[in-house]
Amino acid sequence: QVQLVESGGGLVQAGGSLRLSCAASGRIFSINVMAWYRQAPGKQRELVAALISGGRTNYADSVKGRFTISRDNAKNTVYLEMNSLKTEDTAVYYCNVRALSSPNLNSASDYWGQGTQVTVSS
């Protein structure tokens, strides 16, 4: 089993910055993807940024150039640096890890953090 603990959310004015962190622990054999999703009230959860095991990154068009995803392999921690925040960035942000918890499994599973609220005021 894999556990994810995320932190770093809070209240910030438009134009400000926040850094989210997500630490993975537990029974981890390999990690394929680490990513951040967000969900605003009344909307579906959407992918914000993803980091693939080979180093490739993907960003939603709405955050490209403002957000940066990175990881610390030694700590199994993924970060989301958010700059030039806008009111439309307000949402609950969820960390996602796609990983194998055992070499006996033939496919990876998705694990989710508890969510952290990001509120951007004008």
Give residue-wise pLDDT tens across range 43-62: 999 999 999 988 899 999 99
pLDDT tens by residue, 8-36: 999 999 999 999 999 999 888 888 899 99
Closest-CA residue to 48 (of 36, 33, 34): 36
State the Cα–Cα distance between residues 34 and 21, nearest whole angstrom. 12
Q: Residue 100: what pLDDT?
A: 86
Tell me the two tokens of residue 2.
Answer: 């894999």
In this predicted structure, what is the pLDDT of residue 27?
A: 86
Proportion of the chain above pLDDT 70, given as a percent: 100
CB 83 within 8 A of CB 66: yes
Beta bridge partners of 80: 20, 69
DSSP β-ladder status, 77-82 and 67-72: antiparallel
8 Å CB contact between 106 and 90: no
